[in-house]
Amino acid sequence: MNLLARRLSAAAALAIASPLAAQTAPAAPLTRAERSGYAETSRYDDVMTFLHAVTRAQRRMFLTSFGYSFEGRSLPLVVVGRVTGPGPEAVRRSGKVRVYIQADIHPGEAEGKEAALILLRRLARGAHARWLDSLVILVAPMFNPDGAERVSLTSRPLQNGPIGGSGQRANAQGLDLNRDFMKLETPEVRSQALLLERYDPQAAVDLHTTDGSAHAYMLTYAEPLHPATDPAVTDLVRGQWLPAITSAVKARDGWDLWFYGNTGGEPVDRGGGSAAPGWYTFDHRPRFSENYWGLRGRAGILAETYSYASFEDRIRVTVRFLEETLDWAWAHAGRIRAVTDSADARVIVGESLAVRARLHRGPDLPVLLGDVAEERNPYSGQRMLRRLDARRPTVLPDYTTFEAAEFERVPAAYFVPASFGVVLDRLATHGIRATRLEAPLALGVERYRIDSTWTAERPFQNHRERSVRGAWEPAFDTIPAGTVVVRSAQPLGRLAFLLLEPRSDDGLLDWNFFDEALAGARWYPVRRTFAAF
């Protein structure tokens, strides 16, 4: 029996035998993955047809859109809750905690999309009705539809299916959406920034798939990793929420989950290579979704299924992860609200926060390593790896958190010249509050002296990232009328700080937004002050 026939046969058996099928009885609508025996993944039209079917005639499920892709495809959003409609006003007026779930940002990692559809089908059939007592659930199952339509059998080397192909990683601009959360150069991520501002979810989940080291975890995860994140937000996710999910999934399903990591060192896009043995996470910078959400004072969660598990198993574990994530949110909605409200209210002026970070070596911990076997995609001939049911506890240094490598004090305000229209657009799209000076203002400020500046040798996401060295120096200055004032005492103060500090390794200077003004300049054009005015 060839591989596709085995998968089709297994799908038929699954409809009778598996816990997943038992809860999603074999009735329409089915996902394309289910219909194909997990050989294929859903395209855009499949997703939209499925969403129309599951939300039709539902009083607690609404299909809407939160924006557009680069090629003009509407980005679907399903709102699930006891609300009068799908709009942000109705959702926020409900007073319930809002949880946002996002899938398919990298369409080669397709199981999140399929799992999100299955979860919506279960909710449409009345499963988990108690969640709606305290939650409104926002589901964006296809965040990168343009990439999802560019299907290839070879888009994910070594990944175990879907053997009928999956989409490309980038969007139609050729940009990685999960590197765009600070610079906002893609319509998809700009659309999400508007969603965050309008709906203001207190928690958000991003669904991915990881390849790399052979380990025994069906799914790994991460909390917001930037050390400038509000500590209470980090503790909520890392110290409470994720351990509870891990215990629940292990008890019911027998699957092991753990913090995201690889054994060989830092990923390529962190400029890493070989490293001493350890369990290494990825990156602290807020260009990544859950790090960005954390700096907005929200409980960001990254979920990464294991690339070498079968496509079917990756979907199954993602569904279970989402169920336990939402069950914990339902049970602890008051705690989530209290932590995020506190993060919004906390005044960080005068605090020293990280603008650059490095991996923190934690204690040696047992990590479950695993084994894989090689097989071939029957249609492309491409090598695939298949997860084996092996668990080899191995003690490794823990490198799953970051510590500050460089600090700056948070000022009371930044002054951005009115001529920097693109900078002001980005701040506004992030939702950062700003005002304009109606008259000139004379006061004590600090200006950043530039001693040296340079750009990266290699381009990344169509940029050569910029660095500067220098120092803030006191001065007395008159700030002209029309200058834009960005105060740090606001809910998005941490985000504003990391966008505008010149030494931030993921700020607007890093992404070349000030390049023209820096050519031959002695001073960074943005001033800051610690004075009250």
For residue 20, pLDDT beyond 90? no
Q: How many Å apart are CA 97 and CA 331, to the nearest integer?
A: 11
The predicted model gives 322-327 an average pLDDT of: 98
Q: For residue 27, what pLDDT is reported?
A: 55
The predicted model gives 404-421 an average pLDDT of: 98
Q: For residue 359, what pLDDT is reported?
A: 97
Reported pTM:
0.93
Domains of the chain: 3-402 (3.40.630.10), 411-529 (no CATH)
Burial readout 177-191 (b: 16 or more C-beta within 10 A, e: otherwise): bbbbbbbbbbbbbbb
Nearest Cα residue to 369 out of 393, 389, 386, 403: 393
DSSP symbols for 116-133: HHHHHHHHHTTTTGGGGG
The predicted model gives 242-269 an average pLDDT of: 87
Q: How many Å apart are CA 96 and CA 131, to the nearest integer?
A: 10
Q: How many Å apart are CA 315 and CA 42, to the nearest integer?
A: 13
Q: For residue 268, what pLDDT is reported?
A: 36
Report the 10 Å Cβ neighbour count for 352: 12
Cα-atom radius of gyration of the chain, to the nearest Å? Answer: 24
The predicted model gives 26-33 an average pLDDT of: 81
Q: Which amino acid is at 120?
A: L
Nearest Cα residue to 72 out of 145, 139, 138: 145
What's the mean per-residue pLDDT of the chain?
A: 93
Q: In a 10 Å sphere around its CB, with 0-12 CB exposed, 13-18 middle and 19+ buried, how is residue 113 labelled?
A: buried
Report the 10 Å Cβ neighbour count for 146: 22
The predicted model gives 247-265 an average pLDDT of: 94
Q: How far apart are the first and last CA of the chain?
A: 77
Q: How many Å apart are CA 80 and CA 277, to the nearest integer?
A: 44
Q: How many Å apart are CA 301 and CA 141, to the nearest integer?
A: 16
For residues 163 and 4, is the Cβ–Cβ distance under 8 A?
yes
Q: How many Å apart are CA 15 and CA 189, to the nearest integer?
A: 37
Q: Each residue of 433-475: pLDDT tens digit?
A: 999 999 999 999 999 999 999 999 999 999 999 999 999 999 9
Q: What are phi and psi of 300, to 5 degrees?
A: -85, 140
For residues 376 and 161, is the Cβ–Cβ distance under 8 A?
no
4 band by pLDDT with thresholds 50, 70 and 90: very low
Poorest-pLDDT segment among 265-274, 384-393, 510-519: 265-274
303 band by pLDDT with thresholds 50, 70 and 90: very high
Angle between helices 421-430 and 187-199 (to 10 degrees): 50
For residue 523, pLDDT beyond 50? yes
The predicted model gives 80-88 an average pLDDT of: 98
Return all residues near 407 (Cβ < 8 A) that are at least 6 apart: 352, 353, 354, 355
For residue 194, pLDDT beyond 60? yes
Q: For residue 264, what pLDDT is reported?
A: 74
Q: How many Å apart are CA 181 and CA 285, to the nearest integer?
A: 10
Q: What are phi and psi of 92, to 5 degrees?
A: -70, -30
For residue 498, pLDDT beyond 80? yes
Q: How many Å apart are CA 213 and CA 265, to the nearest integer?
A: 10
274 band by pLDDT with thresholds 50, 70 and 90: low
Q: For residue 276, what pLDDT is reported?
A: 87
